[in-house]
């Protein structure tokens, strides 16, 4: 049989309210991550590394910087009809924006019809992970599934943030029940403190997907949501299967990082995922050359580490430092520094610093996320006194992570 023709749809229209203030003026998939990356780079890298060559990104909410990132970064060769195209909501079916992720696909059916694929892979855009979709597509075809949902075990305490999958004991690949964000999820038989969560990634036969979103569009009772409406419909007909990420072996991955997947929907999980990058033996390895994570190739000088004005040396350890950064005589520990960051005789510990932020002499930044172009004045402190942080209008999470929004001057 000829290899199936595969089309990719990346759902990138979500607001990401729980990541405020980082999503105050950018879509969640456009949020910077891990120094030079944006969240969407992980989903797109997985699709491209899996051999997909026609991928559309459906955007809607505050999509300017996301659209610009995609068009500047994700330029595939034009000769072979290879593309990653950002498609903003266009009100093709009347004067309305996308009312849900299934409606986003319904409004984009012309893109699928133009390519005539056999299989459509639909993925979210706000997770950090590594996954070979070819293996999931093979399982989908072998099962003769209507839809295949990617699943991964997650702590039961997080069940109300995910679609929760219950499998058929007689055939553990078949989904017996799917509940979107249940408040009363049951644990797994072999692991009572875990559930099998949907990763929000789906494989469909193209004609089956088109029929499903057209039918859903005619149903006024539907919220037009992939997880809330489309998947449960397939489950009711016995046509939904699960593909467990634990079966996925990406080229070049080690035992330690073979199953990595993180939902970074909250400040806490966004922060924790950064900590996963920086240890000597990270559970998420950005240095796996067999499964590269692509992002914009910036024309910037290398990072530089120099003595400070008093001639003192610094110490940078367990950290990622991006291109264009200049660090003079500072203590940087367990932190991720974005591009063109400038830090002068300061202490930055357990923190994530986005591009072009400057931190002045004698400043202290602890357990904080600083958005781009923040200016921390000499001697200022962030994450040291949470009351003082709140008084200055910064977000402080329950676990004590301080977030400073874009462009703020901290004194």
The annotated binding site for alpha-D-glucose 1-phosphate is made up of 163, 180-181, 198
Kindly report the backbone phi and psi dihedral angles of residue 187, in degrees, each rounded to the nearest multiple of 5, phi listed first.
-75, 170
> Is residue 23 a contact point for ligand ADQ (CB under 6 A)?
no
Helix H segments across 288-394? 386-391
Binding to ligand ADQ by CB under 6 A, coded x per residue (else -) over 244-273, reads -------------------x----------
The binder of ligand ADQ chosen from 13, 34, 117, 217 (CB under 6 A): 13
* Interaction residues for ligand ADQ, span 109-148 (CB under 6 A): 124-126
Site membership for ligand ADQ, residue 67 (CB under 6 A): no
Buried b (16+ CB within 10 A) or exposed e, 354-382: bbbbbbbbebbbbbbbbbbebbbeeebbb
Site for ligand ADQ in 25-44 (CB under 6 A): 28-29
305 contacts 327 by C-beta, under 8 angstroms: yes
Whether residue 263 contacts residue 269, with contact meaning beta carbons closer than 8 Å, is answered with yes
| 126 versus 205: smaller Cβ distance to ligand ADQ | 126
Q: Which residues are annotated as a binding site?
A: 163, 180-181, 198
Segment contacting ligand ADQ by CB under 6 A, of 98-106, 248-256, 339-347, 356-364: 98-106
Using the rule CB under 6 A, give the single segment among 94-102, 204-212, 387-395, 401-409 that binds ligand ADQ: 94-102
Residue with smaller CB distance to ligand ADQ, 246 or 254 = 246
Nearer to ligand ADQ, 148 or 335 (CB): 148
Own/partner contacts of 164-173, CB < 8 Å, gap of 24 or more, are 164/195, 164/196, 164/197, 164/198, 165/195, 165/196, 165/197, 165/198, 165/242, 166/196, 167/196, 167/242, 173/139, 173/143, 173/241, 173/242, 173/243
Q: Which stretch binds ligand ADQ (CB under 6 A): 139-147, 191-199, 310-318, 349-357?
A: 191-199
Strand partners, 306: 328
Long-range CB pairs of 66-74, under 8 A, 24+ apart, other chains included:
66/12, 66/26, 66/27, 66/29, 66/30, 66/38, 66/40, 69/30, 69/38, 69/40, 69/296, 70/40, 72/296, 73/41, 73/294, 73/295, 73/296, 73/297, 74/44, 74/294
Residues 6+ apart with CB under 8 A from 289: 252
Residue 9 lies near ligand ADQ (rule: CB under 6 A): no
Q: Is 60 in the site for ligand ADQ (CB under 6 A)?
A: yes
Site track 311-350 with ligand ADQ (rule: CB under 6 A), x = hit: ----------------------------------------
Answer for which of 23, 49, 86, 101 binds ligand ADQ (CB under 6 A) is 101
Q: Which one, 78 or 94, has the nearer CB to ligand ADQ?
A: 94
In the window 217-246, what residues touch ligand ADQ (CB under 6 A)? 225-227
> Helix H segments across 118-175?
133-143
Closer of 149 and 376 to ligand ADQ (Cβ): 149
Closest to 293 in 3D by CA, of 277, 272, 269, 316: 277
Which is nearer to ligand ADQ, 108 or 335 (by Cβ)?
A: 108
- CA dihedral (133, 139, 141, 144) in degrees, to 10, reads -140
- Cβ atoms of residues 29 and 38 within 8 Å: yes
Question: In the set 6, 11, 84, 106, which binds ligand ADQ (CB under 6 A)?
Answer: 11
Query: Which of 23, 46, 198, 330 lies at the binding interface for ligand ADQ (CB under 6 A)?
Result: 198
Cβ 101 to ligand ADQ shortest distance, Å: 4
- For ligand ADQ, the binding residues (CB under 6 A) are 11-14, 28-29, 58, 60, 98, 100-101, 104, 124-126, 162-163, 180, 197-200, 225-227, 263
């Amino acid at each position: 049989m000829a290899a199936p023709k595969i089309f990719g749809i990346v759902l990138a229209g979500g607001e990401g309210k729980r990541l405020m203030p980082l999503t105050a003026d950018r879509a969640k998939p456009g949020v910077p991550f891990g120094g030079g990356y944006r969240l969407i780079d992980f989903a797109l890298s997985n699709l491209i590394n899996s051999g997909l060559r026609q991928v559309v990104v459906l955007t809607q909410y505050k999509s300017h910087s996301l659209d610009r990132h995609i068009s500047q970064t994700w330029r595939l060769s034009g000769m072979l009809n290879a593309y990653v195209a950002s498609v903003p909501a266009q009100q093709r079916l009347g004067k309305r924006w996308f009312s849900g992720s299934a409606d986003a696909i319904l409004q984009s059916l012309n893109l699928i019809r133009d390519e005539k694929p056999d299989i459509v892979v639909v993925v979210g855009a706000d997770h950090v992970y590594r996954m070979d979709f070819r293996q999931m597509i093979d399982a989908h075809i072998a099962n003769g599934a209507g839809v295949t949902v990617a699943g991964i075990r997650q702590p039961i305490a997080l069940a109300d943030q995910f679609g929760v999958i219950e499998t058929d004991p007689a055939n553990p690949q078949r989904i017996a029940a799917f509940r979107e964000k249940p408040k009363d999820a049951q644990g797994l038989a072999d692991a009572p403190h875990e559930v099998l969560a949907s990763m929000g990634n789906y494989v469909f036969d193209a004609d089956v997907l088109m029929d499903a979103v057209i039918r859903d569009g005619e149903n006024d009772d539907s919220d037009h949501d992939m997880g809330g409406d489309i998947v449960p419909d397939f489950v009711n007909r016995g046509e939904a299967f699960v593909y467990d990420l634990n079966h996925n072996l990406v080229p070049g991955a080690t035992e330690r990082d073979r199953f990595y997947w993180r939902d970074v929907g909250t400040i806490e999980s966004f922060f924790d995922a950064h900590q996963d990058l920086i240890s000597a033996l990270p559970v998420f390895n950005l240095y796996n050359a067999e499964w590269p994570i692509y992002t914009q190739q910036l024309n910037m000088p290398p990072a530089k580490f120099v003595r400070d004005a008093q001639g003192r040396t610094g110490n940078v350890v367990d950290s990622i430092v991006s291109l264009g950064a200049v660090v003079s005589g500072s203590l940087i520990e367990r932190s991720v520094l974005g591009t063109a960051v400038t830090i002068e005789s300061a202490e930055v510990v357990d923190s994530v610093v986005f591009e072009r932020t400057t931190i002045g002499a004698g400043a202290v930044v602890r357990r904080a996320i600083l958005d781009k172009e923040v200016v921390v004045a000499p001697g200022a402190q962030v994450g040291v006194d949470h009351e003082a942080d709140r008084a200055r209008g910064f977000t402080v999470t329950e676990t004590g992570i301080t977030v400073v929004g874009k462009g703020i001057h901290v004194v």
